[in-house]
Amino acid sequence: MSNREFYDYFNLCGDPFTKEISTENLVLLPSVERSLSAAELLVETRGIGVMTGKSGTGKSCILRLLVDRLQPGLYKSFYLCHTSVAIVEFYTHLCDIFGLEPAHRRAPMFRALKEHILTMASRRRIHPVLIIDEAHLLNNDILSELRLLTNFHTDSMNALTVLLCGNEHLPRRFGLSALESLASAITVSVPVEPLSKEETFSYVESRLSACGPTSPLLTANALALIHQASGGTMRTIGTITTAALRRAWMSKSTQVEAEHVQAVLTR
């Protein structure tokens, strides 16, 4: 049984919940819009921000939307996800994404990055936005360094925006005395919450309709059970829905019923 047979059965043109969805096709639910607006406020005010949420709640989608909305010629984004590293390796990765030659020691890389960022801001009039994903894996030394990296002209110039993105445990780290300076510099918090029941319904239906079907493929009871089981987490919603669709396909049903969802959850 091939994927093509499965898709054809439900008149789908492809996987409705693939992570390769283009930004223009991402579903802008109310909770997503709120998180995105907070992230855009951070860029506008040019500070240090923290985006937090459980795994699978859509943080990566919001980051993609944020980057897509940055005005070319005024902003340039830099994305880093190598976070479970020592401080010298961290600076090496930073130099790589900023297009600089890495050194073997922290100090010269720190100076080169500061000079490069200042040049972008003062000469090229481009504001860099550094997005650090999986930030909850950063060690305390690196988190402390980020505060130093954003300190320009005796802390009187916001030449670099930093957005730390991590799981829901990240904010607890800022209660440590060693990170007091960084904690006091955080200007915007971007919570990414699980979807409400209504948003879960809209998310599933919009993703399915974007792939072809014009009539509902899931009953209201099936959608309600998916929301309950997933807790409103986007990634889990997609996983359960896809598995339930396959169950319905195997039983030759044209619509996903609650029993198909329940069969997926109890297997």
Of 176, 191, 206, the domain-final residue: 191
Residue 39 lies in a domain: yes
Claim to verify: residue 157 and residue 57 sit in the same structural domain: yes
The parent domain of residue 243 ranges over 3-14+195-266
Q: What mean pLDDT is predicted for residues 248-265?
A: 95
Claim to verify: residue 93 and residue 114 sit in the same structural domain: yes
Percent of the chain with pLDDT over 90: 81
pLDDT at 1 over 70: no
Claim to verify: residue 138 and residue 177 sit in the same structural domain: yes
Claim to verify: residue 181 and residue 217 sit in the same structural domain: no
Q: Which residues are within 8 A (CB) of 262 and not within 5 positions of it... i.e. 6 or more apart?
A: 225
Percent of the chain with pLDDT over 70: 99
**pTM to 2 decimal places:** 0.92
Alpha-carbon distance 237 to 245, whole Å? 12
Residue 25 lies in a domain: no
Sheet strands side by side (includes 127-132): 75-80, 127-132, 161-166, 48-52, 186-191
Q: How many domains does the chain have?
A: 2
| pLDDT on residue 41 | 97
pLDDT at 267 over 80: no
pLDDT digits (tens, 9 = 90+) for 151-167: 887 776 789 999 999 99
Contact indicator for 84, 135 with CB cutoff of 8 Å? no
Residue 224 lies in a domain: yes
Collapsing DSSP states into helix, strand and coil, what is residue 138? coil
Of 191, 225, 255, the domain-final residue: 191
Alpha-carbon distance 215 to 206, whole Å? 11
Claim to verify: residue 77 and residue 179 sit in the same structural domain: yes
Q: What does residue 252 show for φ and ψ, rounded to 5 degrees?
A: 60, 35
Residue 21 lies in a domain: no
The domain that holds 237 is classified in CATH as 1.10.8.60
Claim to verify: residue 69 and residue 156 sit in the same structural domain: yes
Claim to verify: residue 103 and residue 203 sit in the same structural domain: no
Residue 19 lies in a domain: no
Of 191, 223, 258, the domain-final residue: 191
pLDDT digits (tens, 9 = 90+) for 201-236: 999 999 999 998 778 999 999 999 999 999 999 999
Claim to verify: residue 187 and residue 64 sit in the same structural domain: yes
Residue 66 lies in a domain: yes
CA terminus-to-terminus distance, the chain = 20
Residue 24 lies in a domain: no
Claim to verify: residue 94 and residue 34 sit in the same structural domain: yes
